[in-house]
Structure 1
Amino acid sequence: INAVDCDAVVLGTPSHLERFLKLNKPVVHVSFELRETTKPDLEEIVSRFLSERGLT
């Protein structure tokens, strides 16, 4: 992350990664909402992925 030429790091995760990483850029936290409108939805895609790999 530090090697990337950017003005800020945008984090869309619930964790505060800057607590665990030494970042040389400002960090901005964002939130988002996922509204699925098509099938397969994310749950089906992840379930299929795990099932195909014998992980369920």
Structure 2
Amino acid sequence: MKTVLIVAGIIVFLVYGFVLYCCIRVGKESDEQYNKLREGKEQEDDRSRVCK
């Protein structure tokens, strides 16, 4: 019984770590996409200022 609890604890810990890893990875990708979109918007704004 003790072994089963230890194995279950290890499995829960690994799953928890995997979920956190996935959340961090998705957040990083979203942040990079946001920064790319923001940089593109800023470049368009700079061009429109020059043209005016």
Greater share of helix residues, 1 or 2? Answer: 2
Greater share of strand residues, 1 or 2? Answer: 1
Over alpha carbons, which structure has the higher Rg?
Answer: 2
Q: Could you say which structure has the greater relative contact order, defined with CA pairs below 8 angstroms and 6 or more residues apart? A: 1
